[in-house]
Amino acid sequence: MKMRGIRFGGKNPFLMVEYRLVPLMVSVVKIGDELSAAALTRGLGAPVKRTNVCQIGFHVQDMIAILLCALCFALFLLGQYFSF
């Protein structure tokens, strides 16, 4: 197998490792920089406490959604045994 004129398993295996590791390392550094920029944009490094616009918690709408999903799941299971 040839890649840029270098045979793998041939005369110089260190070049094979170099051609594989250098792009991998560049990619890892680039991804790390992007994650760092995203964290700074979100304000994760700020010294102040984060706030929310709305109240977070379990509300009536959540209970209705859970019951609706449970009902659909039960109908799906019962549909295998009965014909509606």
Q: How far is CA 35 from the centre of its chain?
A: 12
Of the CA atoms within 13 Å of residue 69, those in its CB half-sphere come to 6
Output the pTM of the full model: 0.43
pLDDT category of residue 84 using cuts at 50, 70 and 90:
low
Residue with tokens 């918690």: 57
- For 16-51, the pLDDT digits (tens) are 788 889 999 999 999 999 999 998 888 777 787 777
Distance CA 78, CA 84 (A): 9
Distance CA 24, CA 18 (A): 10
